[in-house]
Amino acid sequence: MQSIQTRSQKSKAAPKMADRGVAVASRSTRNNSDVPSRSGPVLSEQERERFVAQAAYYRAEKRGFAPGFELQDWVEAEAEVLRLIGGA
């Protein structure tokens, strides 16, 4: 028994253009000054510093506020905040 394919079935079975090695041009927005250079929320310096301070506090609390790790807590908290807001 022979199978009959409809037009829609044939188009679904056809490979996509990307599978054929066809390059698809993409629009670049790197030089467009209207588009922000980073994604994520825009925070003021004070807001960012407040988030870093809070994250550093929680890091210190987690290790029992042992002295001597304040700078490490701050640096790690700052890196975490920047990663989360898309700044680094």
**Helix, strand, coil tally for the chain in percent (to 5):** 50, 0, 50
The whole-number pLDDT of residue 22 equals 44
Both structure tokens of 53? 């301070």
Q: What is the pLDDT along the chain (88 residues), one digit of tens a residue?
A: 555 655 555 544 544 444 444 444 444 444 545 545 555 568 899 999 999 999 999 999 999 999 999 999 999 999 999 999 887 5
Both structure tokens of 36? 């922000």
The whole-number pLDDT of residue 6 equals 54
The whole-number pLDDT of residue 3 equals 56
pTM strictly above 0.85? no
